[in-house]
A and B are shown apart, each in its own frame.
Chain A
């Protein structure tokens, strides 16, 4: 394969600048990102705002339901990071694939999973998107090519490379997008995958959600070199850092990356600088972060930011916002009601889905 690499890379006329030694210094200044590719119109901005609000409100309801012991297990909230899921998803089509982590409510909802299917999964009900087998950390929807929820940090990366490999071998113009955190970047699986994807010129979008912490470990305590985009660029792929609190910047950088990937220039890497406003999980007392730091990031809330921008532009008024909020509340109310009513999978079905031939027959002598 490696022999084919130079030709594939240079063969496409519309290809963005080739990565390599000279460009290995990633465009890594946060807040700059790539140049805009046409401002979204009002309709588009409204959609982005709605999508982010939907994730935010869904998760806020999860907090209530968790406190009420309606949902259990490890629940990792995405609050604060919504611009990443929403902005990146805008650049993808339904044919593309998304591989996600255990902090995937936002990715799943942005990908078009219904609040009902996700909520039922949180309840462990048979109608959940994983039939109640997965819970918060393992959301899947094959029909939407959402290869969801891996709770092994970095475990989804090689799998994403494989999805992209299959597409490449069959000449399908699809992109596989893999989300992962700054913590995952320290795992060997990230580096093995980055090398493999660049070596084989795979149509893979690597989206690192750099929220500055891996559980309680700050970026500076987990990485000898904290400039992640620059390190990714060393594998010979275009890589740049983007303000992950600005949904516009996220969307535009993702579009540019996806266009490059579809043009055949191989994997691209985005480091999205973002922040989770909540603790790592519901179990985390969050002792490792300063209040001031959290407040400072909250002042950059991607939802507030877009709301203000739209208000200043005269693109959004109170009644419109109320209408959006009401629609979302109704949808989540319906999802919770449905989850409450939904049937549980019977215990007799415990051994289903172990192998494709239903319950595994481990025959006894």
Chain B
């Protein structure tokens, strides 16, 4: 089964994701991959490279540029007993299929009185940092986390990239997986899983006692870097990776704030109406008396992400911004 060594070996986020897809295609013949350029091109980010040769064009299925039709077709195929993994090139383009995702995938189970679960996985990239300008750079995870009836995942580590897909496919309901474009080249040693990835709980990526840095997806490396800088100054930051954005694991956040009494939320989306706003509101509701300082948020500037490098950098949350926010909370 495991022809390719996947554990304890050096790998990239991209390869980990590909290995997860390969395993899914191998272990269940109901699984198929569908999307624009997933086959012959190898996936627009190279994730599915080689899978067409291995599994053939029926199961690694290139689609026309028809986001609504192929996402909807994924929903229909899921209803009819298949386990489609649908890839949308980026979250920006997913808006052309938002009707299918929201009005069908997320809604059919309820509208049918429980008769029609939709076991579908939708993968898409998100995020900025590669000078791709506004229509290829946005972080709309919060839009999807707003919708009851779907699960929203944001794998931020090699381990999650490698091991989240199997439980996502086992979920009887639609699962949307966000892969931050800047993570694909991240490399490191893939550790063997100690347990199946738990899709219901946030992960504490670095325990700490002085402040909670709460984040997800592409901002995790920045939060970790900030924690390292803070540690050098003697500030012990806890880093929480939300990783499941819906349903949100508030309990882990609450418990962390109860220990540290301070919180900085890092979210690459725009601050207004963001997931950071939701987390912040929950802390206000549940942890108000634990707080020793106002909640800080580090989000993107309220501007369509610009092309020019210095403007893009200025628009996005950076490690220095996180460190500064932590200082405001601690000082």
Contact = CB atoms under 8 A, between A and B. Distances in A.
A219 B249 CA distance: 51
A128 B114 CA distance: 12
26 contacts: A4-B57, A129-B113, A131-B112, A134-B111, A152-B104, A155-B104, A158-B70, A158-B72, A159-B75, A161-B69, A161-B76, A162-B77, A165-B77, A166-B76, A166-B77, A166-B81, A176-B76, A195-B66, A352-B114, A354-B109, A356-B171, A360-B247, A361-B247, A362-B148, A363-B249, A365-B285
Contacts, number: 178
Interface in A339-364: 352-356, 360-364
Nearest to A135: B111
Contact of B58 (A1, A141, A364): A1
B169 interface: no
A164 B172 contact: no
Interface of B: 32, 57-58, 61-64, 66, 68-82, 84, 99-100, 103-104, 108-117, 148-149, 151, 171-173, 246-251, 253-254, 257, 282-283, 285-287
A147 B116 contact: yes
A333 interface: no
Interface in A197-235: 199
Interface residues of A, number: 54
Interface in A124-167: 128-134, 138, 140-142, 147-150, 152, 155, 157-167
Nearest to B67: A192
A360 B251 contact: no
Nearest to B76: A162
Contacts of A147: 76, 79, 116
B68 A133 contact: no
B109 A355 contact: yes
B29 to A, nearest CB: 9
Contacts of B113: 128-134, 140, 353
A364 B285 contact: yes
A316 interface: no
B32 A161 contact: no
A3 interface: yes
Given A158-B70, A158-B71, A165-B77, A353 B64 contact: no
A132 B82 CA distance: 28
A160 B151 contact: no
Nearest to B56: A1
A364 B76 contact: no
Contacts of B99: 152, 155, 189
A323 to B, nearest CB: 35
Contact of B109 (A159, A176, A353): A353
A182 to B, nearest CB: 19
Contact of B73 (A149, A150, A159): A159
A87 B172 CA distance: 36
